[in-house]
Structure 1
Amino acid sequence: MLPTRAVGLRRIALIGLAGALAVTTAACASERGSGDSASDTFIFGAAGAPKNFDPIFNDDGESFRPARQMFDTLVTYKPGTTELEGGLATAWTPSNGNTTWTFTLREGVKFHDGTPFNAAAVCFNFDRWYNMKGAAAQSQMIYYGDVFEGFAQNEGDISGDPVYKSCEAKDETTAVLNLNKAKGAFPDAFGLTSLSMSSPDALKKYDADNVTQSGEAFTYPAYATDHPTGTGPYKFESFDKANNTITLVRNEDYWGEKAKTARLIFKIIPDENARKQELAAGTIDGYDFPSPADYNSLKQAGDQVLIRPAFNILYLGINQKNNPKLQDVRVRQAIEYAINKDQLVRNRLPQGAYAQDQFLPNNVPGYTNAVAKYSYNPDTARQLLAQAGASDLTLNFYVPTEVTRPYMPNPVDIAAAITDDLKAVGIKVNVVQEPWNGGYKDSVQKAGKQDLHLLGWTGDYADAGNFVGTFFGRPKAEFGFDNPQIFDALSTADAQTTPDAKKAAYENASVLISQYVPAVPLSSSPPGIVVRSDVQGLIPTPLTDERFYTVTKG
């Protein structure tokens, strides 16, 4: 996740490494508690802080990481794959032209507050999302908006005809979801972390929908900050912001396989080098997105570097709103011709990464060799710029800092290589760096301040709409264009419910997108995750949605 969606994010204070390692061991011992041995606590170095713990209000991996341990979805994905399997539902059956979905639910499941999970709880959650309004709907319901397209009451810049119609609790274990139209994203999209099941009692008790807004910032209620209540293998204990640690404890009443460790701690360490040093010091047991340059040294130290399959896209975004010259397709083509993607992949990305000519990984149906190709050719780039009267082009290039993403291990280094390529064809580049959790995504996705920017996306499930539909399915401030032909093609593809029809429709959309060049696809990468030698049971997944209840130590 994601990535290209608009987010209201807070600034994260960087952890100073000096002196930190000396105190971390003591801190971790106290975090484990006097009754828990070191082998009964798994400590993971997180790259950033979560925005909050209510899944519906999030879209980024660092917010979803703890949420996935505390919440379950109706359907889920087999560990290490993108294949569907049962979650809180044991069966899901479409009818009425895929506008009705009947879920058979697991029996005997309880939320962390002891209340029952049943069909009424399922309908309560779906009705809650549908009826969101005001700041709650505006704040971060991006996944819901992408999948269900609209709310009972659209407000502000939210528009669209709702896919959701109603939900019926036929009996304790049968929930029937009624839609206004078929949606090709289902049933896979029912496994989105954003669509996790929350306790209706806890949602009401802690005023879960009482989100307030001040400017671009949102304040979330107690449910999202202190009382997330799901059905998952771990339960929320605390978020110690002073020590940048999130502590979860084992759910002894979990319906499935019980967690192997009594405690799961996420220690927030934004700096990748600091995460590496804490792993070496033994104060954390693992961390995500190690630098590819460190793979060998980590292995030599005895650590396990687990490589996921590539299931992501890195792109150079182009915002047509601020600079009229970017509205000329020849200029956008010139930008793509100017970038040496093969060299970028070879020098800046991990082994196994590959250059991209479209916005889908090559293992997702809809990927096609029929897209327009813009292989590296600086001479052609210069010619196109001259033909468009843009040989004096100056662009503001926004680049994120203080972040490591699966598709973007070092954004500053990647941006430097792209900047050199653009300058080589005569484009003047003003680089603007902003912290990822300090305004970057708001600047590029909400305010649209940039001409160019770096972003990307890790797929949530194996559906082309989760990539190209998320990027280009409707007008967005990030790209600043309005192309009804592309929007209609993606809408048509999203409505297909048979694999062959869906594949063909997304191939058509991919070709149209490649001809229009709304952004430049750069690469797909296989991100790594590293754990200590004594850690067992962690299953890396292409969706980067690892669950830690299977992990043991020692």
Structure 2
Amino acid sequence: MTRPKITYAVALSAALAVALTSCSSDSDAGGKSSTGAAAASPKAASAATDYNPQPYANLKDGGSYTTGGSFNGDDTQGNRWNVNASLTGSRIWAWYNPVAITFSPAGEVQINKDYFTSATTKNVGTKQQLTITINPKAVYNDGTPIDWRSIQATWQVNSGKNKDLQIGGTQGFDQIESVVRGASAKQAVVTFKQPYAAWPGLFTSFINPKAATVANFNNAYSNKLQPSWGAGPFTVQSYDPNSKKIVFVRNPKWWGRKGKLDKRIYLDFAKSSAGINAFKNGQIDYTSLSTPEDINQVKGRSGTQLRKGGSPFEYYLFLNGKSPVLSDIVVRKALLGSVNRAEIAKIEFNGLDYSEPLPGSSVYYSFQKGYEDNVSKVLTFDPAQAGKDLDAAGWKPGKDGIREKGGKQLVVEYAVFDPEPIDKAVAGSLTAALKKVGIKVNLKVLPGEQWASTINQNKFDLVLSGNRSLDPYGVTGLGTFYGSSNDSNITRIGNAGIDKEIAAVSKISDPVAQQKQANAVEQKALKLYGVLPLFSGPSTYSVKKGLANVGASIFLSPLPETVGWQR
């Protein structure tokens, strides 16, 4: 269950990156079942936390914190808003750039007053006005004051107006009418075209205007860090573009609470097994665990502990609508209707003492308010019906059982990257399941560094990918997953009608009404049969004892200065 490149998909933008999973299907191909939860599953995915929460005063001064998770392969984009940025890039960004707004594990907004002394909204007629007052001490490392221009630049690069900027998405930013100077240069007044409840997700961080040019936005953070444009309790001491080792140290130009750590170190481990071995050898202080074998390797080790909880992750099967064979919606529906998600989840969670209902949405998690099982309303696991649909569309079984039409077999290519044994198991299972309905799967094994080129150039038919939400505003993910012109929609499937409905959802000011309409729009988008949510799963980590504010924390991303070792 290696997941080398989980996606970065906050409410405002997402850059999808592959995360391989395992699955198996041994049910009768002619069977029919709901795509809802398996028997005895809980009503929602886990929202439990386990991260040793400690107040700032309870942390020691000094020490280092080392993990894997640095750039590797072609995953080297460190600009968090760039379309090619993954979760890796966003995490590295946060250690030396502004983190102005965070969220509690449950999703409550937390304003970091070292950056924003206040952030308030009011309705002005039919519009909404957000006033952000910036800490008078706030300054970038290069000496440039942090002022209203940073808020303006963040909006401008993400608005979608400049087509040369390689952005991950415009959702939310496209609802802003203007950003102007307020009572002083240290105040930004943001005017939304209508009330926009998810505004905190837009300004969790902001960009130095010097980094907002086309050349810098697209290229300056590719396999590079830019500490002079950053600001925060830590800054870059060194980055080796060959080994990918990154060392952060306390920033002498920081005006707020100092970081508790002396050093924060990232190392590059392309495979999860390497990270586990590094943890066992004492090279790193924390590592994620995906399988029972992983857990057994570290369980009970002196000076360590396991931290387990829920997860703001979700994993999907994506179909490439630019693929000639998958451009046919009948084929896409038949293929997805033949995927046994319950069996995939069973294999994924085997030995992990965990269960959950099968996910029904790409927008909300089942533990969130507003969640509906939209998948089951548009798709049923029914291989027999899938076969009938393919028959009606002219895809007839050939001598070898593989369907044919117009002299061509029904063959799809399934891309996997740096597969480990369990990744090969999912490939074998998916191959067997689709073969039962007459669809042949060719496995395309690729090195991880070819992820971006494979996806960006549409060189795949099927791929498994993961998404990690960094804030609770799932509704803004509609455009990410289903917008036809959104570069983060790797299926390339959508239409102008759904785009208009997605845009209309953003204009609904009442949260309950917005959630209801978001679900309705997602049901329409799911009927294009390009995305199939598979599972969320637990978060399990092996951690050295005493490490504070690190682990399974759902929507919480702790401020860098609050990470350290408990007294």
- Considering the TM-score relative to the shorter chain, is it more than 0.5? yes
- Write out aligned runs for 1:142-541 (5 A): 142-143=168-169, 145-149=170-174, 163-179=176-192, 181-182=193-194, 184=196, 186-192=198-204, 195-198=205-208, 200=209, 203=210, 209-211=214-216, 219-220=219-220, 225-252=225-252, 254-288=254-288, 290-302=290-302, 303-324=304-325, 326-329=327-330, 331-349=331-349, 351-360=354-363, 361-369=365-373, 371-372=376-377, 374-391=379-396, 392=403, 394-402=410-418, 411-436=423-448, 438-444=449-455, 446-475=456-485, 478-538=490-550, 540-541=552-553
Letter in 2 for 1:522: L
The one of 61, 68, 78 aligned to 1:45: 68
1:93 and 2:121 are equivalent in the alignment: yes
1:84 and 2:112 are equivalent in the alignment: no
Q: How many residues align?
A: 490
1: distance between equivalents of 2:96 and 2:419?
Answer: 24
Structure 1 range deviating more: 419-428 or 295-304? 295-304
- Residues 307 and 494 (structure 1), Cα distance of their counterparts in 2 relative to 1, 3 Å cut: farther
Q: Structure 2, unaligned stretches of length 5 or more?
A: 1-5, 18-59, 397-402, 404-408
1: distance between equivalents of 2:156 and 2:528?
Answer: 38
1: distance between equivalents of 2:243 and 2:70?
Answer: 14
Tell me if the contact between 2:103 and 2:557 (Cα under 8 Å) persists in the aligned partners: no
How well do the aligned residues superpose, as a CA RMSD in angstroms?
A: 3.5
1: distance between equivalents of 2:223 and 2:460?
Answer: 35
1:549 and 2:561 are equivalent in the alignment: yes
2: distance between equivalents of 1:365 and 1:8?
Answer: 25
2:91 corresponds to: 65
- Residues 374 and 266 (structure 1), Cα distance of their counterparts in 2 relative to 1, 3 Å cut: same
- Residues 426 and 134 (structure 1), Cα distance of their counterparts in 2 relative to 1, 3 Å cut: closer
Structure 2 length as normaliser, TM-score? 0.76
User: CA offset at residue 266 of structure 1?
Assistant: 0.4
1: distance between equivalents of 2:157 and 2:527?
Answer: 40
User: CA offset at residue 116 of structure 1?
Assistant: 3.6
Tell me if the contact between 1:39 and 1:261 (Cα under 8 Å) persists in the aligned partners: yes
- Residues 111 and 66 (structure 1), Cα distance of their counterparts in 2 relative to 1, 3 Å cut: same
Letter in 1 for 2:66: I
2:132 corresponds to: 103
1: distance between equivalents of 2:103 and 2:419?
Answer: 27
Tell me if the contact between 1:308 and 1:541 (Cα under 8 Å) persists in the aligned partners: yes
Tell me if the contact between 2:76 and 2:223 (Cα under 8 Å) persists in the aligned partners: no
Structure 1 range deviating more: 244-253 or 502-511? 244-253
Tell me if the contact between 1:394 and 1:430 (Cα under 8 Å) persists in the aligned partners: no
1:24 corresponds to: none
2: distance between equivalents of 1:132 and 1:452?
Answer: 31
Q: Structure 1, unaligned stretches of length 5 or more?
A: 10-36, 150-161, 213-217
2: distance between equivalents of 1:411 and 1:495?
Answer: 41
Q: Deviations over 1:336-357 (max 9, x none)?
A: 2211111111112453454223
The sequence identity of aligned pairs, in percent, is: 19
- Residues 229 and 539 (structure 1), Cα distance of their counterparts in 2 relative to 1, 3 Å cut: farther
Tell me if the contact between 2:285 and 2:543 (Cα under 8 Å) persists in the aligned partners: yes
2: distance between equivalents of 1:173 and 1:53?
Answer: 27
Letter in 2 for 1:59: A
User: CA offset at residue 332 of structure 1?
Assistant: 2.5
- Residues 223 and 526 (structure 1), Cα distance of their counterparts in 2 relative to 1, 3 Å cut: closer
User: CA offset at residue 280 of structure 1?
Assistant: 0.5
- Residues 38 and 287 (structure 1), Cα distance of their counterparts in 2 relative to 1, 3 Å cut: farther
- Larger helix fraction of residues: 1
1:158 corresponds to: none
Q: Deviations over 1:293-345 (max 9, x none)?
A: 4224323224333234232321111223323564233x323222211111111
Tell me if the contact between 1:356 and 1:523 (Cα under 8 Å) persists in the aligned partners: yes
2: distance between equivalents of 1:383 and 1:127?
Answer: 50
1:14 corresponds to: none
SS in 1 for 2:278: helix
Q: Deviations over 1:209-231 (max 9, x none)?
A: 5349xxxxx64379953435333
User: CA offset at residue 499 of structure 1?
Assistant: 0.7
2: distance between equivalents of 1:464 and 1:239?
Answer: 34
Structure 1 range deviating more: 474-483 or 80-89? 474-483
User: CA offset at residue 513 of structure 1?
Assistant: 2.6
SS in 2 for 1:310: coil
Q: Deviations over 1:31-73 (max 9, x none)?
A: xxxxxx9961111111644624443336311111121121224
The one of 55, 76, 79 aligned to 2:80: 55
Structure 1 range deviating more: 339-348 or 506-515? 506-515
User: CA offset at residue 534 of structure 1?
Assistant: 4.2
Q: Deviations over 1:423-465 (max 9, x none)?
A: 22221011212334x2223322x22222222223122322233
Q: Deviations over 1:153-189 (max 9, x none)?
A: xxxxxxxxx745332242144211234x236463132
1:17 corresponds to: none
Q: Deviations over 1:457-491 (max 9, x none)?
A: 12232223333321002246732434333223222
1: distance between equivalents of 2:414 and 2:307?
Answer: 31
2:36 corresponds to: none
2: distance between equivalents of 1:518 and 1:75?
Answer: 33
